[in-house]
């Protein structure tokens, strides 16, 4: 991966963040598959580390949270016991978004039980410095997780969508049931009913599925390794927060939240990678060349 020039790295990353699969990126750029996977792993770790260090002390008025389903290797019903131990099966991405700045405050890739909900909400709480209004869907794991992470110093409401009976049409498999209403439940504090909504985070779910090939349904571009899935999610949200201009804000979410003073380019993302170091064997080869040069 260190042999790639900056222009080639930029082309590879551009392909990945625009929804190309690994093999499509190979065909478009001519870069070897293993090299692309190595670049994705290194850059994903760098993006996650930058987000963890800098997305802090945020003033968020309205936080919307949701979780997105995907799978690694195969769907849970088709996974053997051996493959489950390797991380195959259903995988969920937890997302918390600021409804005003559209900044993705926190994200977490894992399961969907109470333990993962607790880890996710605790991470959100550590990044927000003020009293916040939170809206989630009706997933029961949020109840204990939000209370343990934020305590009583929040305004929290659940918004449960009510769907009608499934249709008998042939296309029902690919279309959700019709939403016939919503059930609003105040859990704690005094949330403003006008701002009890999950619309922005659900729109972010669409952006994730559109821009990240691993979330595209009915394809074979899904992740085969959990680590690669996490790396791509980290890269996606770093690009979304810092590089992508939001159509309604006319700036990036990071600019709107005061975390950046300009629109980042893909080159800025690549600059997060640690500087390559010269291996000992390469140093020895260079010294040998110099020594031979003196006697030539």
Full set of structural domains in the chain with CATH: 6-294 (3.30.420.10)
- If you write DSSP's letter for every residue of 8-50 in order, what string do you get? HHHHHHHHHHTT--HHHHHHHH---HHHHHHHHHHHHHHHHHH
pLDDT at 169: 63
Looking at every residue in the chain, the average pLDDT score rounds to: 89
How confident is the model over 127-148, as a mean pLDDT? 95
Q: How do the residues of the chain divide into helix, strand and coil, expressed in percent and rounded to 5?
A: 45, 20, 35
Name the more confident of 114 and 278: 114
Q: What is the pTM of this model?
A: 0.88
Q: Is the pLDDT of residue 280 over 60?
A: no
- The alpha carbon dihedral of 227, 232, 235, 236 has a sign of negative
- The alpha carbon dihedral of 90, 50, 256, 266 has a sign of negative
Separation of CA 68 from chain center: 10
pLDDT at 232: 96
């Amino acid at each position: 991966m260190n042999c790639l020039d900056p222009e080639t790295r930029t082309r590879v990353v551009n392909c990945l963040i625009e929804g190309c699969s690994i093999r499509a990126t190979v065909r478009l750029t001519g870069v070897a598959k293993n090299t692309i996977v190595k670049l994705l792993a290194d850059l994903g770790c760098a993006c996650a580390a930058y987000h963890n260090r800098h997305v802090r002390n945020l003033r968020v008025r309205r936080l919307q949270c949701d979780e997105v389903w995907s799978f690694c290797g195969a769907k849970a019903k088709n996974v053997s016991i051996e493959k489950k131990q390797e991380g195959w099966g259903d995988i969920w991405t937890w997302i918390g978004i600021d409804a005003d700045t559209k900044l993705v405050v926190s994200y977490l890739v894992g399961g969907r039980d109470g333990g993962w909900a607790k880890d996710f909400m605790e991470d959100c709480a550590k990044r927000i410095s003020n009293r916040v209004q939170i809206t989630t869907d009706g997933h029961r794991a949020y109840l204990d997780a939000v209370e343990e992470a934020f305590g009583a110093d929040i305004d929290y409401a659940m918004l449960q969508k009510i769907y009608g009976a499934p249709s008998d049409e042939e296309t029902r498999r690919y279309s959700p049931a019709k939403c016939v209403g919503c059930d609003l439940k105040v859990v704690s504090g005094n949330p403003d009913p006008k701002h009890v909504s999950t619309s922005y985070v659900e729109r972010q779910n669409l952006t994730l599925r559109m821009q990240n090939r691993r979330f595209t349904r009915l394809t074979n571009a899904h992740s085969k390794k959990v680590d690669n899935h996490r790396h791509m999610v980290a890269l996606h949200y770093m690009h979304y927060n810092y590089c992508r201009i939001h159509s309604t804000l006319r700036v990036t979410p990071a600019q709107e939240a005061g975390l950046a003073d300009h629109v980042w380019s893909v080159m800025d993302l690549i600059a997060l990678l640690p500087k390559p170091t010269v291996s000992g064997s390469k140093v020895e080869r260079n010294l040998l060349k110099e020594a031979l040069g003196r006697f030539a």
